[in-house]
Every structure is written in C-alpha cells, then in structure tokens.
Structure 1
Amino acid sequence: MVHANRDGDTVQVWLQDEDGCAATAVTGEDAYEYGVRNLWQEVERAHEEYVALGSPEARNFGLTVTARGQQVWLHHPERIIEPSPVREPAM
C-alpha cells in the first residue's frame, strides 16, 4: 500500500498484491479495483473492525512471535486479534 497527499486534504491510495490485483482510491471519490481480489473492500472491512475496537492507537497493539507462528494482540498478549475470514468475490 502506498499513499500520497495531493491537494490540501486530498489523499490517493494505491494497493497491489503479489498476484497483480490492485485498487486505487482518492478522498471523496469512488475506489477502482482490478483483478479477482477486492482489495479496497478488504481495506474498508479492516477499517470497520478498527473503529469497532474503539480506534486504538498504534502503541496499544503488539506482536508476539514464536517458533509456532505470530499473533497480533490489542492492549495485552492475552487479547489476540484473530484474522477475519476472507470473503470470496461475488460472481
């Protein structure tokens, strides 16, 4: 994900995954998505989840890494944030 400030409060965001799917959005305009993966919808869903958690500051998140894997947590290591299920694109 890359973003850039354009004019004043206008921001443009570009997203791309390793399979070539992409999305771009500009403040106050529609988002455009390319490929089979709905990247912008994923960003919107992540933002909704972030707001539902009370919009915590970055310092409230942590990451535990072990030989078995990694876990993202909020406020303390026992409060693990599970990944959302991936939604299949509508046909």
Structure 2
Amino acid sequence: MTDVRAWLVERTYSDRDLLTLVYATSDGERYLQKELAGRLGGETTAAIDVEEGRLAQVDDDAVKERYAAEVERMTAQHEPDDMV
C-alpha cells in the first residue's frame, strides 16, 4: 500500500495525561489520530508517512479547511522530521 505524507495539525492533552495527535493530508481531506501517554509527546515530528488505508475521511468542510490551513503553516515553518 502507498504511504501518504501527513502533517501535524492538532495536539491536545487530556486531564488523564493522554496526548492526542492529529495528522492530516495537505488538502485537509484525510487524517490520522494517534493517542499516546502524555510523556511521549516530546518525540512528535512535524510530519509522518502513513499507509493510505489508515487515513480516515474528514466529513466536515470547516475542519477540512482548518486542517489544510494548518498543514500550509506547518510546511512553511518546518521540515517533516522537525520535532514540534
């Protein structure tokens, strides 16, 4: 299966020390959500390569636009392997 580049567009922490990362494709149409123990968040890169089949579809147009805008900002400021 083909890998697709996805960029970090959202990072949230829960009150239970859970870190949620959302990576999205450049068009904002597909995403991958990862949940990690909060202390592992220091190893977060600006982008990852994801198997196409692991990406979910974004159904909300406003979210698509927000993700696409955040990808544009991230690509302007970071290389894919930058720690963020």
TM-score normalized by the length of structure 1: 0.29
Could you say which structure has the larger radius of gyration? 1
TM-score by length of 2: 0.31
